[in-house]
Each structure stands twice: as C-alpha cells, then as structure tokens.
Structure 1
C-alpha cells in the first residue's frame, strides 16, 4: 500500500489552492495530526470543515478519521520521511554521532521508497522498452544533473547502445540534426524549469524523437511536455540533507532502470560482458 503522505505529496501540484493548503499542513504536521479533529484542522487553516472532509474523500479515504488513522499507521511504520538530524556532532558525544548516521540512512531509505512508489512498473517498463529499441539515445543534463547524465550515458554505451551525450544544450541542439524517428532523449533536470532544456526537448520531438524527463516529481514544464517521465522524491527540512536524498534516490532509480535494460535484452547483456572485459584488459595493459 502506498504511503498516504507519499500519495498526498505526489498529487499536491494537481490540487486546488485550498487543497494545497490542507496538504501542506498535513505534510508539515503529520506527527501532530492525531490531535486534530476535522473542525480543529479547518479552524487552523481558516477554511470550512466540509473542505477538510472533501479533501480526505478526494484523496481516496472514507473520510477524515480514515485519513488520520492511515497517516498515523504510516508514521508508526516508516516515519514521515523527515528524520531530524543533530545539528552538530561533538567528539565526546558518540550517541549523537550514531543518531546522525542512522538518521541519514533512514532518510535515504524513505526517499528511495517514495521514489519507487512514484515510478510503478507500468511506468518504468515502457521507458525501458523505448530506450532498448532506440536507434540512438541522446543524454543531456547540466550541473549536478550532468554528472548523473554522463555516468548513465556511459552505462548505456556499455550495453551497446549508440549514445550521444552533452552537458551543453547548445551542443546538444547542434546534434539534433542526427536525430531520427524512434530515437530517445533522456533529459536530466532536477527542477525541470530551464527554458533551454525545454527548447531542446521540443526540437527533438519535432524530429519525431521521444523525450524522457528525469526530474523531481513536482509539476514542471520539462516533465509536462515529455513523452515519458521518471520522477524523484526527496524531502527534508535541511537543504543539504534534501540534496543528498535527491542524489541517492536518483542513483537508485537509474540503477534499477539499467538492471532492467540488462534483463530485457540478452544481446545487451552479452555486449555488456564483452565491453567490461575489453575495459579490464585495457586497464591491466
């Protein structure tokens, strides 16, 4: 069963203004929700009680009590994904050190689990097929996204896929002259809002290629206009921790897509073994 907080978070961008206010309150105060009746929640937000009840029903619950109970159960099992980490670790505080280590590990696991929930099999398998059947795979990403794009492009090359990688949208735009129908563009962009990346994507689709966006699960222009999307979940009050959660969840998802590509096509798997052996000999010589 999908974590109700994951469900609310993933659907937030499609909600009305009042629904977003309710969703934000629940996401920020999930551990306190058990103390709020529907009327108290409505009063805290300055809205009607019926708006709270309708929100619960629209989210797939029988009513507000069902929503509150389900969220309480989820927190008891998994927490709310916002593990509070100690601000500092002193040399004479081994317990704080251990809490910091355990807290980060739990936060990563929670973010990766949310990411898995947001990318179901029905969504990932068609993407794997698109990549496997592509004549060429174009890969683009800037900044930190470019690091993941480069590494994934290398892995695709090891599978025998003809891969075109650029960390510069201008150079990628110049390479679109080589795009053909059925080719695939993997566009890495955490927030999906850079106009130049959206422009490259539109031009690629004009060449009858398919665009796969890799972004956060928020609504964004790149994701909205892509033919398919992989989405990443990463939430934490501390910005530096949230960035680590994003990187961890993204890497986990890309690793799974790569394994699926290996399993989907035996020829790809054989080519991977051949290329790895060639690299091994090269490094030893």
Structure 2
C-alpha cells in the first residue's frame, strides 16, 4: 500500500482492551475464522498474513485496503472482545514483540544443530499453537458439562472411524480403566446395533474430524431418539455431526503443509482428551482407586 504521508491516527488503545486479551489475538483470529462471515474472513486473513504491518494501518486505511467499511473493522475487533481496532492492533503488536523476544532469547547453539532439530522445534511450536487455539474454542463450562455427563452416565458409547478411531479407542480404554462402563466400536454397523439398547442415562461420544460421515450422523440421531446425550468431537466450524450433538468438543489445527496439519490436529485433540480424563479422575477417589487396581491387573498380564 502506497502512502503519501503519515497515516491518520486512531484513538489510543485503552488499558482494559489490552488487558482483556490474555491469549494471543492472532490465535483467537485463527481459531474463530471458520465461523466468521465473508467480510470478517477477509479481515482475518489480512491480519494473519500482514500482522507485522498493522502498526502502519489505521482502521480507515485497513478498510480501504480491503474495500470494506471502517465500521466493519471496528465491529470485527469488538466481536473478538476488544474495545475497538486500536486495542486489537496494540495487542497484536505486543504479542509479536513477545514472540520476537522469545526467538532472540533461544540459545544460538540450538539453531546451529542438525536441520532436524529446527524441524522438531517448528513442529512443537505448531502443536502448541494448535493446542492454544483449541483451548480458546472450548470454554471451561462446556468441558465441565461434558465431564459431568460422562461421570453421571450409565454407559458411555464411543465411536470413531479410521484415524478418528484411534482416539475413540484410547478414550474408551482410559474410561474403562477408571471404572466407567464403555461401549466402543470402530464399525458403524456394530455401534448402531449397540445404540439400539441405549437409554436416557447413556452418553455417546462420537469422533469425526470433519463431522460429515453419514453413518455417524445416523448413529447420533438414533442415539438422541432414545433420549441419550451426544457429544461430538470435530474440527471447529459447522458440520452435520456437531449440529446433532448436545455438546461439542472442537479442535483447531492449521498448517500450510497438508502432511503436517493432521499431526497438529491429533496433538491438539489428544491434549484436550487428556484434560477431560484428568478432570474425570479428579471427580472421585473411587476412580483413582479403580485405576490403580486395573493397572496392576494389566501389568500382571503383561509381566507375569
């Protein structure tokens, strides 16, 4: 963007707005992007791609660059929880400064090691970013509701197909080890048959990254018809499976490399499931006692 002189200045950011952005605003923008309107996505993409240039842009200049109204920029900022665009710009600048300082503080010896070390660091940062985005999408109250549903369930039905089935089996195993009755199937036909015995006291947790498998949507509707509670575990954004669920766990993971993005998704999802398991265990000492007993029995089988 060519400028003929100093850009017009927006009002100074307020302390309240800056203090209100506890998490990186760019993480919040990325996490919320798929739920935004077309105009909001244009603003979001500009912020994500040009964060380092924002200090030179007033809200009017940003609006002009995108061909939208200045009020759209202001409303976008307020929707993210800021007082206005100056607060958003200030917090993005602060976050970038902290990130730059963190990179500068890393030992140079680490950067001088073999290329795979730099790759490992990059992958770790991507996983951490995905976990942060995922945490922002799942309010504590929502996670507590799901934990309470699992704890209070007569049985927990768990289903996931393909790659999702790995996380479904892992959750089923851990719940079983702490003494919660589970019914886990990776075959939608077997799960449909099991669901026919479900009742109002049961909970269904169904895993599907994109939430579009017709078989799982059918099982979810079947489960709700029997007055059971359903929990979907999908990427954030609208999808049929989430629409049929009583509660949803949402995962955010983005990367330009197609082979890396699934790894970030799986890491963020596993961290969220680990949190759920720990919260369930903390609900009762009986669960911890049952886990110790179960672990002992399993160990005896593995090492008689």
TM over 0.5: yes
Contact 2:31 2:133 in 1 (8 A): no
Tell me the secondary structure at the aligned position of residue 240 of structure 1: coil
Choose which of 133, 142, 147 in structure 1 pairs with 2:152.
133
Name the structure 2 match of 1:6: 27
Contact 1:78 1:110 in 2 (8 A): no
Listed one character per residue, the Cα deviations across residues 197-254 of structure 1 (whole Å, up to 9, x for unaligned) are 1111111011110111111122222123211111112112222222111111111111
Name the structure 2 match of 1:61: 82
* Matching of residue 179 in structure 1 with residue 198 in structure 2: yes
* Matching of residue 20 in structure 1 with residue 41 in structure 2: yes
What TM-score results when the alignment is normalised by the length of structure 2? Answer: 0.83
Name the structure 1 match of 2:226: 207
Contact 2:254 2:261 in 1 (8 A): yes
How many angstroms does 1:58 deviate by?
3.2
Choose which of 121, 124, 127 in structure 2 pairs with 1:102.
121
* Matching of residue 284 in structure 1 with residue 303 in structure 2: yes
Name the structure 2 match of 1:32: 53
* Matching of residue 153 in structure 1 with residue 197 in structure 2: no
Listed one character per residue, the Cα deviations across residues 99-142 of structure 1 (whole Å, up to 9, x for unaligned) are 21211112212221222232232111121111011111110001
* Matching of residue 164 in structure 1 with residue 179 in structure 2: no
- Computing the radius of gyration from Cα coordinates, the structure with the larger value is 2
Rounded to whole Å, the distance in 1 between the matches of 2:99 and 2:215 is: 39
Rounded to whole Å, the distance in 2 between the matches of 1:237 and 1:147 is: 24
Across the aligned residues of Structure 1 and Structure 2, the Cα RMSD in angstroms comes to 1.9
Aligned residues: 272
Name the structure 2 match of 1:194: 213
Rounded to whole Å, the distance in 2 between the matches of 1:175 and 1:252 is: 28
Name the structure 1 match of 2:266: 247
| Distance verdict in 2 for CA 1:10–1:101, change over 3 Å | closer
Rounded to whole Å, the distance in 2 between the matches of 1:243 and 1:206 is: 33
Listed one character per residue, the Cα deviations across residues 28-72 of structure 1 (whole Å, up to 9, x for unaligned) are 333333333323322332222232223223332222222111112
Specify every segment of 5 or more residues in structure 1 that has no aligned partner in the other structure, as ranges. Answer: 80-92
Q: Moved runs in structure 1, 4+ residues, more than 4 A?
A: none
Rounded to whole Å, the distance in 1 between the matches of 2:137 and 2:156 is: 24
Name the structure 1 match of 2:104: none
